[in-house]
Amino acid sequence: MSSKLVIGISSSALFDLTDSDRVFRESGLKAYSEYQRSNEDTYLAPGVAFPLVQKLLRLNSVLGQKDRVEVILLSRNTADTGLRVFKSIEHHQLPIARAAFTGGAAPYRYMRPFRCQLFLSTNADDVREALANGTAAASILPSPDNFPPSETLHFAFDGDAVLFSDEAERIYQEKGLDAFASSERDAANEPLTGGPFKPFLSELHRLQSELPKEVSPIRTALVTARSAPAHERVIKTLRAWDIRIDESLFLGGMNKAGFLQAYGADVFFDDQADHCESASSVVPAGHVPHGVTNE
């Protein structure tokens, strides 16, 4: 029996709430509530994660399964102010049926009951709380509108502190590149501990495995600053996990943006904010505020 891929999305990542947010910041909650109600029939424009959500939900028809992939709305709105969001979902013909409107409270409490494997938001605090409570999560950055036209979903991941723990990154940060390379060479046969995105990658791999490799609607890539000799431990870790990565780029510290553009990433996840800023100039990027570089 197949499992289900479940992604939680905030209303601000799914739709462009710039005007609504401005009203809230400048005039307060009451004015915001009145603004949302008075604009209930004015549909919200797509937000930064909208194209990704469209492609995710399209997988159900590609796979011939009604609910193999589900997207759930997790919003700090109340149901009253969130009605505009649901009307916009219907207008844009997104098959999203489940939601939690928390009325300003943190949404992470509902991620586990909904069985979310990934949470995408523009609220960095909500992302940190999700990560702290065991759910892969990322802050989606503004990015270009020219999403790749491919029907295939291209996920790209950094390695340390994203797919893997930050145990190796800590050595690099504390002792430098030579110590890092030496440590990784010595530990080449010891699999790295999983990072916050390992369960999500595992579910993607399970979904990929349901179809022949040559027709899979999903491709995955590891895009890492590592290079030889630190590559071997990564390869053997993925082998130990029995997880397939379609493409692996060991860049030895080169800027990742051009490679991500060439790969056609629909989204790239990295723990380092500067890497995400650079990548977001060409592809959608999600900052994962986890590990030693975010302490």
Catalytic residues: 158
Those residues with Cβ within 8 angstroms of residue 33's Cβ, 6 or more apart along the chain or in another chain: 78, 80, 81
CB 223 within 8 A of CB 260: yes
From residue 23, alpha-carbon distances to 30, 82, 193 in Å are 10, 15, 44
CB 230 within 8 A of CB 240: no
Q: Identify the CA nearest to 131 among candidates 200, 65, 66.
A: 200
**How many separate helices (H) and strands (E) can be counted in the chain?**
13, 10
Q: How many Cβ atoms are within 10 Å of 68's Cβ, its own excluded?
A: 17
Residue 254 is encoded by which pair of tokens? 């080169």
- Tell me the three state secondary structure of residue 46: strand
What gap in Å lies between CA 212 and CA 179, rounded to an integer? 42
What gap in Å lies between CA 10 and CA 135, rounded to an integer? 14
Those residues with Cβ within 8 angstroms of residue 80's Cβ, 6 or more apart along the chain or in another chain: 33, 37
Distance of CA 4 to the CA centre of its chain: 17
Hey, which residues does 101 pair with through a beta bridge? 75
What gap in Å lies between CA 136 and CA 197, rounded to an integer? 5
From residue 185, alpha-carbon distances to 39, 125, 189, 233, 253 in Å are 59, 36, 9, 8, 18
From residue 193, alpha-carbon distances to 60, 161, 168, 251 in Å are 32, 10, 10, 22
